[in-house]
Structure formats: C-alpha cells, structure tokens
Amino acid sequence: MEFILASSSPRRKQLLSGIISNFDIVPCNIDEDEFKQIEKDPQRLAKKLAYEKAYSIFTNKYRDDNEYTVIGSDTLVAFGNLILGKPKDKDDAIQMLKLLQGNSHDVYTGTTIIIKKEHSIIFETRLNKSTVYFKNMSYYDICSYVDTKEPLDKAGAYAVQGIGKVYLKGYDGDYNSIVGLDTNTIKEIFKKYNLI
C-alpha cells in the first residue's frame, strides 16, 4: 500500500511519520481562496478543503493500478465565525493577536482519507474541534512576538508548538489537531481498514 500526504507542511509530515514510516509528499494545487469565498462556515470549510486536497491528488492517480491511500488535512482558526488565516503582513498579525489575547477561540481540523484497495474506493471525511485559551497580552508582548516572524506564516498568527505557546493558558481537545494533523482520526481509519 502506497501512502500519500497531500501537503508540503513540515508539521504534518512530522506528525504523520509517527504513524507510518514510508509515505510520499505530493502537495495539492487547489485554490483555497476560491472555496473560502463560497463557504464562510469554518467547520464546513475545514472539511471541504481537506476533501478537495485529497481528491485533487486522488484524481491524478486514479488510473494507477496500485493500491494507495491519500491523506488530506486542513486546519482553520476561528474566532466565533470569523476565520483567521495566515496574516497578510505584520500589522495584520498584530490585529489578529489583539483579537485572540485574553480570549478563547476554536481550531477546526478536517481530515479526508481516500483509499483505493481491492477494486474498491473508500472516502472518509471527519472533523475535529479544539478550543485554545490565550493569556492576556500587552501590546508590547504582541509586537515582540510578531517580531520573531513566527506568526507571519501561521493561521491565526500563532504556533501552539512554537514560541507562541508561552502566551497560551491551555487548550481543550487534541494537540496534534491544533498543530495541523488529526493523528487519532487517521489511526482510527487506518485500523478500521487494516492499513496498519
């Protein structure tokens, strides 16, 4: 069985390597902004993007005779119904952190697994919701953190596994899902279909 991760994220690669040792990385080329303009609900959007990422790789390999499994994942940070993507610039990162500091917000991770096995094709899509709690941050704290550049390529302008963790009170839910890959769901689906 060939395994394919439809993402170039080093964090997802590291997390998936804790489940399976050999897999290919094939980044998908879907236009996420197109889907974000149509779907405003963060839960539905996280599932939709995970599905589209996996499906785009699956359709390229569909005529391949080998058995394979494609893993698609998408993680969204949402403050209420406001979806916080990667900041456009430093000012945008500062505005996001001003919103999040002293508050809680939700992190949704969609997972789609497509399995081509024994003349059948199986689709599984799931959603994980976690809640993250921020400490109060002064404007100086926010600017100092943004100056590290860590927030600039992270959804919601922070990394739970990086420098940003010092500004967090804690979380409810699954740590790996917050980082970017719902490893518990992946293990559960792999076991269900005897892939591991």
- Of the candidates 5, 10, 181, the residue with the CA atom closest to the CA atom of residue 110: 181
What's the start-to-end Cα distance of the chain, in Å?
Answer: 10
For 83-114, letters b (16+ CB in 10 Å) and e give bbbebeeeebbbebbebbbeeebbbbbbbbbb
**Is 74 designated active site?**
yes
| Residue of 24, 33, 74, 141 with catalytic role | 74
Catalytic residues: 74
